[in-house]
Amino acid sequence: MGKPRPVCALACLLFLWVQGMLMAKVEATSSVHIVYLGGKQHDDPILTTNSHHDMLASVVGSKEMAAELMVYSYKHGFSGFAAKLTESQAQKLSELPGVIRVIPNSLHRLQTTRSWDFLGLPSHSPVNILHNSSMGDGVIIGVLDTGIWPESKGFQKIIGARWFVDGFLAEYGQPLNTSENSEFLSPRDANGHGTHTASTAAGNFVDNVSYRGLGLGTIRGGAPRAQLAIYKVCWNVLGGQCSSADILKAFDEAIHDGVDVLSLSIGSSIPLFSDIDERDGIATGSFHAVAKGITVVCGAANDGPSAQTVQNTAPWILTVAASSMDRAFPTPITLGNNKTFQGKGLYSGNDTGFRSLFYPEAEGLDPNLFRGGAGLIVAKNPSESLYPCTDGFPCIEIDYEIGTQILFYIRSTRSPVVAHFSSRGPNSIAPAILKPDVAAPGVNILAATSPLGRFQEGGYAMLSGTSMATPHVSGIVALLKAVHPDWSPAAIKSSIVTTAWRNNPSGFPLFAEGSPPKLADTFDYGGGIVNPNGAANPGLVYDMGKEDYINYLCAMNYNSTAISRLTGNLTVCPIEEPSILNINLPSITIPNLRNSITLTRTVTNVGATNSIYRVMIEPPFGTSVSVKPNVLVFNHGTKKITFTVTVTTAHQVNTEFSFGSLTWTDGVHIVRSPLSVRAEFLQPYF
Helix axes 546-555, 281-291, angle to 10 degrees: 140
**Distance separating alpha carbons of residues 14 and 20, to the nearest angstrom:** 10
CB atoms within 10 A of CB 626: 15
Contacts of 128 (CB under 8 A, 6+ apart): 120, 121, 122, 532, 533
Among 52, 53, 145, 189, the one annotated catalytic: 145
Residue pair 314/275 in contact (Cβ under 8 Å)? The answer is yes
Among 79, 133, 268, 467, the one annotated catalytic: 467
Distances (CA, A) of 490 to 358, 573, 611, 684: 49, 22, 22, 29
Q: Is 467 a catalytic residue?
A: yes
Contacts of 269 (CB under 8 A, 6+ apart): 107, 109
Q: Is 124 a catalytic residue?
A: no
Q: How far apart are the two ends of the chain, measured CA to CA in Å? A: 84
Assign 133 to helix, strand or coil: coil
Backbone phi, psi, residue 322, to 5°:
-115, 135
Backbone phi, psi, residue 372, to 5°:
90, -5
Assign 522 to helix, strand or coil: helix
Contacts of 655 (CB under 8 A, 6+ apart): 622, 649, 678, 679, 680
CA dihedral 183, 184, 185, 187 (to 10 degrees): -120
| Size of the chain in residues | 686
Nearest to 183 by CA among 238, 222, 143, 102: 238
Assign 499 to helix, strand or coil: coil
DSSP structure class, residue 103: E
DSSP structure class, residue 216: E
Contacts of 8 (CB under 8 A, 6+ apart): none
Among 52, 193, 288, 651, the one annotated catalytic: 193
Beta-bridged to residue 231, according to DSSP, are 144, 162
Burial of 670 (0-12, 13-18, 19+ CB in 10 A): middle
Nearest to 102 by CA among 91, 111, 114, 110: 91
Q: Is 193 a catalytic residue?
A: yes
| Enzyme catalytic residues | 145, 193, 467
